[in-house]
Amino acid sequence: MSGSNPFENLQEQLDDAAQYLDVGEDVLERLKHPERVLETTLSVEMDDGSLETFKAFRSQFNGDRGPYKGGIRYHPDVSRDEVKALSGWMVYKTAVADIPYGGGKGGIVIDPDEYSDGELERVTRAFATELRPFIGVDKDVPAPDVNTGQREMNWIKDTYETLENTTEPGVITGKAPENGGSAGRVEATGRSTMFAAREVFDYLGKDIEGASVAVQGYGNAGSVAASLIDDLGADVVAVSDSSGAIYNSDGFDTRKVKQYKAETGSVTGYGAATDELSNRDLLTLDVDLLVPAALENAVNGDLARDVQADVVVEAANGPLTPDADDVLTERGVHVVPDILANAGGVTVSYFEWVQNRQRFQWTEARVNDELEALITDAFDAMTDAYEKNDLPNFRTAAYVVAVQRVVDAYEGSGSWP
Ligand code: GLU
């Protein structure tokens, strides 16, 4: 029985894939735990002169294929187990995308809405100072995640470079273009979700043009995915954020909704001919495609029984529990897993890191073309494994591909010490 502990969910997903692989129990056990986790308490001065403490984590899950790689999240629900799970998913995400990284993830237990810009800068620099001995262009390369973006990445880069007395933009990705960021990085996660949706509709012989779509979560991943899927000719009929959901059977102008959310703080209240829905209503709408793009555990086994979408493409990390997966598999609903469908973010992070190391900027067109090639290759590798091994679902297939790549790298290195 799986539940809401994302770390246990990750371990269950690995067990599911291992049944179809020739991996010993000992090696599998190694792949189910992080190599190390930094847990720290940041002490930061607030604007009123008081001192506040914040718990923060960085999990380095596995480095067999390259430097640890993954974002840093700011959220009140951040926990050690969540960060461990998210870092593990990064291992298999970088492996399925076939980019030369391991997996890591970090987080601070904080609600950023409650703090001033100056306070957030001091919190971020305090975390960067703690991270400094552990990160590095060839060691561990952080990036944005929930509630962090270019601003925070610029602060971390600046703190690291100042303390190390060096210039090393590739120590972190997701920076602003002026600070060494890549063209196309902000849109990259949503762009991979769009490619995954396009590929899976094509694979299943369904038409994406005219397909109805519901998107849960309208942050960076969800809003970009909505607009790019809309550009393919689909109708985005429902979107939501943490304040609620909206529905319009004619489809939304997704970019206007994003603008409205930027101005008002939420998608709710948008447009006259719009119905307000609950989060559960949105997730169980009768649509062709459901894109969960918020947080973990959005759909559990119980809710999965009511999901009416034909296809689910995961823009969030870990939005379905393993129970939900089992129910959807049994009901014939196809799910393109997070480790493929949102791999665009880390893939363009990789392009940013390559550009930083070469001190050479790519055009946005080149970034998008190279991204498309890697995501479609990953999709083909997943569906090949699905067909060849007669696997129960796409998630197991993606893990079969990814775990095999990690095991090959591990076994190829020989044993140590
Ligand atoms: N936080 C993103 C993810 O979950 C991006 C990580 C990265 O760019 O390293 O994939």
Identify whether 334 is part of a domain: yes
317 lines ligand 1 (CB under 6 A): yes
Encode the chain (417 residues) as per-residue pLDDT tens digits: 456 899 999 999 999 999 999 999 999 999 999 999 999 999 999 999 999 999 999 999 999 999 999 999 999 999 999 999 999 999 999 999 999 999 999 999 999 999 999 999 999 999 999 999 999 999 999 999 999 999 999 999 999 999 999 999 999 999 999 999 999 999 999 999 999 999 999 999 999 999 999 999 999 999 999 999 999 999 999 999 999 999 999 999 999 999 999 999 999 999 877 888 999 999 999 999 999 999 999 999 999 999 999 999 999 999 999 999 999 999 999 999 999 999 999 999 999 999 999 999 999 999 999 999 999 999 999 999 999 999 999 999 999 999 999 999 998 988 777
Residue 151 lies in a domain: yes
List CB contacts of 173: < 8 A, sequence separation 6 or more: 141, 142, 143, 153, 181, 182, 185, 349, 350, 352, 353, 356
Q: Are residues 268 and 142 in the same domain?
A: no
Domain contains 227? yes
- Calculate how far, in angstroms, residue 132's C-alpha sits from the geometric centre of ligand 1: 19
Ligand 1 centre to CA of 346 (Å) is 5
Domain boundary among 179, 213, 232: 179
Residues 99 and 160 in one domain: yes
DSSP string, 283-345: HT---SEEEE-S-TTSB-HHHHTT---SEEE--SSS-B-HHHHHHHHHTT-EEE-HHHHTTHH
Same domain, 55 and 164: yes
Q: Which of 146, 296, 346, 356 to mutate to test the pocket of ligand 1 (most atoms within 8 A of CB)?
A: 346
Number of the ligand 1 atom closest to the C-alpha atom of 142 = 9
Range(s) of the domain holding residue 321: 188-341
Q: Which ligand 1 atom sits nearest the alpha carbon of residue 144?
A: 1
Q: Which residue has the tokens 């962090």?
A: 148
CATH number of the domain within which 66 lies: 3.40.50.10860
Claim to verify: residue 336 and residue 192 sit in the same structural domain: yes
* Same domain membership, residue 114 and residue 51: yes
Examine the fold and report which residue of 179, 213, 233 is the final residue of a domain before the chain moves on: 179
Contacts of 49 (CB under 8 A, 6+ apart): none
pLDDT at 103: 98
Last residue of a domain, one of 296, 326, 341: 341
Domain count, the chain: 2
Return the CATH number at 246. Answer: 3.40.50.720
CA of 188 to the centre of ligand 1 (A): 10
Report yes or no on 166 lying in a domain: yes
Q: Which of 94, 189, 352 to mutate to test the pocket of ligand 1 (most atoms within 8 A of CB)?
A: 189
**Whole-prediction pTM value?**
0.97
Instruction: Tell me the residue length of the chain.
Output: 417
Kindly state whether residue 411 falls inside one of the protein's structural domains. no
For the annotated catalytic residues, the residue numbers are: 105
Q: Is 69 in the pocket of ligand 1 (CB under 6 A)?
A: yes
Q: Dihedral (C-alpha) 273, 278, 279, 281: value to the nearest 10 degrees?
A: -80
A 10 A CB-CB count for 262 gives: 9
